[in-house]
Amino acid sequence: MGAIQMRGRKSRAKRLKGKPIQRLTVGQKIVHRRYGAGIVVDRREGKEDEEHKSYYVIDIPSSALKVHVPASAIQEVKLRRISTKRKMHGVLRMLSQPPAELPKDYRERRATVQQSMSDGTIGSLASVLRDLAGLQNVKKSMSTMELALLTSAKRRLAGELALVVSIDLTEAMRAIDDALHKGQDQ
């Protein structure tokens, strides 16, 4: 007997998964691959002499930033949809796993971490955070650049977690720290 085929419509989240954002609406929660999770708070029209006729204003609460994204350049900016609660639960589980070993050479390690962070996916960000936190736990002394990358990854992940599960940034940081401590105790 074969598997039962479920017929019907896919959920909205499944239909949109992996598809680039085509347009934004005020109130929409998104992730800017460089700055982190935010909420579209406004759409403004540019002046006649400006290059872009209209742009969106995105509030990034984890960094206290307001990012302006030209409406005509949404796809080039590489925004992504905010993660689901289920995905965030998986991310917290990933953080509680033992860290992977990073390259010994500082330059190679920095390049690896920066490449993963620029990927923009929640999984890449979580693995960077877990692995750098593990390195910090073992090494005790990290370079200024490594500490900055660790702080950035944690802030960006906490910002998305806070928006997804509707908690404040402090609670999100605490949940991340708890998950990381579980992984380091193993």
Q: Residue 73 carries which DSSP code?
A: G
The whole-number pLDDT of residue 96 equals 94
CB atoms closer than 10 angstroms to residue 87: 15
* Parallel/antiparallel/unpaired status of strands 36-45 and 54-60: antiparallel
Q: Residue 71 carries which DSSP code?
A: G
Tokens for 56, please give them: 């969106």
Is residue 126 a contact partner of residue 183, using CB atoms and an 8 Å limit? no
pTM above 0.85, yes or no: no
Q: What is the CA radius of gyration of the chain?
A: 19
In angstroms, the CA 88 to CA 51 distance is 38
The whole-number pLDDT of residue 8 equals 44
The whole-number pLDDT of residue 56 equals 92
Segments of the chain with pLDDT less than 70: 1-20, 48-52, 183-186
**Phi-psi label, residue 79: left if phi above 0, alpha if psi -120 to 50, beta otherwise:** beta
Q: Which of 184, 64, 171 is nearest to 133 (CA)?
A: 184
The whole-number pLDDT of residue 186 equals 56
The whole-number pLDDT of residue 139 equals 77
Enumerate domains of the chain plus CATH numbers: 18-81 (2.40.10.170), 85-184 (1.20.58.1290)
Amino acid at position 100, single letter: A
- Sign for the CA dihedral angle at 96, 97, 103, 109 comes to negative
In angstroms, the CA 32 to CA 91 distance is 18
